[in-house]
Amino acid sequence: MKGPLYSQNPPTVLMVDDTPENLELLTGMLKERGYNVRAAVNGKLALQAAHNDPPDLILLDINMPEMNGYEVCTALKSDEKLKDIPVIFLSSLNETIDKVKAFGTGGVDYITKPFQIEEVEARVETHLELRRQKLRLQEAYDKLRELEKLRDSLVQMVVHDLRSPLTGTFAYLKLIRDNADSTLSAAHSGYVAEAMKAVMQMIAMTCDILETSQMEEGRMKLKTAECDLGRILEDAVSGIQPLSGGREIRLTPTESPVTVLADREIVLRILQNLLSNALKFTRDGDLILLGMAPAGGRVRVSVKDNGLGVAPEYKQKIFEKFAQAELRSGQQRYSSGLGLTFCKLAVEAHGGSIGVDSVEGKGSTFWFELPVKAAGV
C-alpha cells in the first residue's frame, strides 16, 4: 500500500453503501491514504450527512433499500448547496444502460464491483483535483468580477465628471456662434462649428457609457407613456442635423400616426445613436433613409445607409459590449463606441428586438422593432 497522500487538511469522502463489509473495506483503505472518510448505510442518511457537512466527494452505491443511488444523486444535484459535489457510482451493476442512467442523474464517474483499490484511489484523486481546480477557477473569476466592478465604477465616476465641463464647453461655443456682433471670419466660424460637433459627440459618448452601465445593472427605470413614434423620428433628425455635414438624412413620413408605449427620451437616444453611426460610416453626398413600417403587431424603424456595410460574422458582435475591442483590434470599425450596445439593451428593455441587414461594401440597414399600442387599449 502506498503512503498517505494527505497529512494536513485532508479532503472528506462520503461513502454510501448498505453493505457494512464494503464500507469497512473502503473506509480503511481510503483512511490509510490520508482521506477523511464518513459512512452512510442508506440514501436518506447520506443526504442528511451531506446537508449537515458537505463532503468533497461522494462514493455512491446504486442498489439500496428505500432510496436507490440514482434517487440520491438526483436529490443531491437538485440542491443548490450540494449540486457541485462530484458523485462517483460504485456498483455491481455493469450493464451499459446502468452506467448511462448514472451519468444522466449527474454522476461524474462509474466503478464496477468487484473493484481494485488502486482504481478507486486514482479516480477519487482525479475528481478531487478537478474539483479543486474548479474552485480555484471560480475564485479567480469572482476576483476578476470584483476588479471589473471596481474598474467600471471608476470609469463611470470619471465619465460622469466629464459630462459637466463638456456641456459647459458646448454652451460657450454656442454663445460664440450665436453672437450677432461676432467678428469671426468665415473660416473661424467653421472651426467653431466643427468644435461644437466634436463636443456633441463626446457628450453622446459619455451618455452611452453611463446609460449602458445603468441598463446592464437594471438601475435605469423606463418612464413609459403613449408616444407618437413619428414625432420622435422627426425630433431625432432635427437633433442630429448639425452633425450631418454634407450627408442628407431623409425621413419617409407615414400615412397615419403610430403610437407606442415607450420612454420617449430613451427611444430618441436610440434613434440618434443609429443615425450618428450611419453618419460616421458614410461620406459627404451620401443619403441616409429613416423610416418606419408595420411588422405584424409591431412597428419597425429602419436607418438605411450606403456606407461600408457589415461582414456576416460581425452582424451580432457589433451589438455586444466587449466585442468593440475585438473589432477594433482586427481593424474592423462598424460602430462608434457603446452606442449600439446601448441601443440593444434599451430596445430589449421595451420588449422589442434589434438587428442589421447588410451586404459588405454596399451599405447597411439598422432596424429595431417595438410593440404597437393598439387603439382603445
Q: pTM for the whole thing?
A: 0.55
Residue 376 burial (C-beta neighbours within 10 Å; 0-12, 13-18, 19+): exposed
In 3D, which of 347, 274, 272 has the Cα closest to residue 304? 274
Q: Across-strand partners of 87?
A: 58
The predicted structure's pLDDT at residue 377:
41
Cα distance between the two ends of the chain? 79
Task: List % helix, strand, coil for the chain (3-state, nearest 5).
Answer: 50, 15, 30
Q: Across-strand partners of 365?
A: 304, 357
| Average pLDDT, integer, range 348-368 | 91
Q: Across-strand partners of 240?
A: none
**What are the tens digits of pLDDT across the range 100-130?**
999 999 999 999 988 888 888 899 999 999 9
Nearest-10 Cα torsion for 22, 27, 32, 38:
170
Nearest-10 Cα torsion for 126, 129, 135, 137:
-100
Q: Is the peptide bond before 54 cis (omega within 30 degrees of 0)?
A: no
Amino acid (1-letter code) at residue 25: L
| Average pLDDT, integer, range 218-231 | 86
Q: Across-strand partners of 356?
A: 366
> Is the predicted pLDDT of residue 156 greater than 50, yes or no?
yes
Higher-pLDDT residue of 287 and 361 is: 287
> Is the predicted pLDDT of residue 331 greater than 70, yes or no?
no
> How many other C-beta atoms lie within 10 A of the C-beta of residue 218?
8
Residue with cell 418612464: 223
